[in-house]
Amino acid sequence: MAYKYVRIAGNRRQVGLALGKLARPIMGPYLEQSGAWETLRPWRGHPFVDELAQQTEAALPQIWEEFEGLAEGLRMPLKDVLLWHCRGDLLHSTTDGCTSAALRTGDGSRWIGHNEDGDPYLYGRCHLVDVALDDAPGYLSFYYPGSLPGHTFAANRAGLVQTINNLRTRQRHAGVPRMFGARAVLDCSTLDEAVALLHNLPHAGSFHHTLGAASDPRLLSAEVTPGSVSIQEIGRRYGHANHMVHAATRSQAQIVTDSSRARQNRIEGLVDGWLPESGSADMLAALLDTEGKLPILRTAKDDPDDENTLATAMFEITDEAVVLRVYDRKARADIALDVMSDPD
């Protein structure tokens, strides 16, 4: 498998500490080979980064405590770990990609699918973490070494599902870094609570969130940028890559890479072709699609955005359950977990 499954439990600091310890062996080599880390270094000690820290600690004190535990577990300076968490807010383009899709089937089930695209170095070096918290629902999330969970694909024990796509906006604002906001969504119990959080937080950066919940028939597409939150309810089918496509946000200054444009066109073409009887197999086939020079499933060593697909997630959402299936570049699931059930 391209990842390892790990269970973690405790209070905020204990969970952060465990996440840090999990990533500690790889964090040094990971950052040494990272072009993003090299580009971030001039921001060390910058007052703007200090302001992002102050706003985050004030807005999300519990997440900040988890973050402090993470830095402790990594045995890295807090300011360096913060800088790494702000990479998407400070840099206009980073090696975080992804494609998401959503589908309603005739039996009333909702499906959210997602390709997690990132630094090829991380293939085989990530984890699926199953986290139990003392004061929140707890969650299952794909975990990049040294980054708070939540900005990839995840679902919590309350039945809330979230997948994240990178948006490369040409904006830089004081506020809460986008990775902290994505992590905070996993503490929400309902879609309405998650939407309210996204509307109320001051955003430093931009993400696309695909949201669903066992307790709610809706599927939502949210393009979140500094000063703008666009929420659209998804009809029967939907696809999204790495640039803004909502009418309310697409005119904002952004970078649209050739890969993102190609994947957006391809996923839209595929979902538009789904028939009323189409189901999860069609969605999975779309996420594993290799057509074209810049395909949805990304495995090329010379990918122009320096990204590869690290894992594919399929969330099946019903009124009673959320089941997560994770795939490693193939049509057979490596693992299937009922997120809302207590772990053994």
Residues in the chain where the model's pLDDT stays below 70: 344
Interacting residues of 279 by C-beta distance below 8 A, sequence separation 6+: 103, 105, 111
Residue 254 maps to a domain: yes
Residue 162 maps to a domain: yes
Asked if 188 and 215 touch (Cβ cutoff 8 Å), the reply is no
Residue 343 maps to a domain: no
Domain total in the chain: 1
Q: Give pLDDT, residue 108.
A: 83
Q: What is the pLDDT of residues 8-38, one digit of tens each?
A: 999 999 999 999 999 999 999 999 999 999 9
Q: Give pLDDT, residue 186.
A: 98
Residue 289 maps to a domain: yes
Residue 344 maps to a domain: no
Q: Could you tell me the residue range of the domain that residue 228 belongs to?
A: 3-338
Q: Give pLDDT, residue 276.
A: 87
Residue 248 maps to a domain: yes
Q: Residue 53: count other Cβ atoms within 10 Å of its Cβ.
A: 20
Measured CA distances, 89 to 208, 226, 256 (Å): 14, 10, 16
Structure tokens at 302: 């010379």
CATH number of the domain residue 199 falls in: 3.60.60.10
Residue 161 maps to a domain: yes
Residue 216 maps to a domain: yes
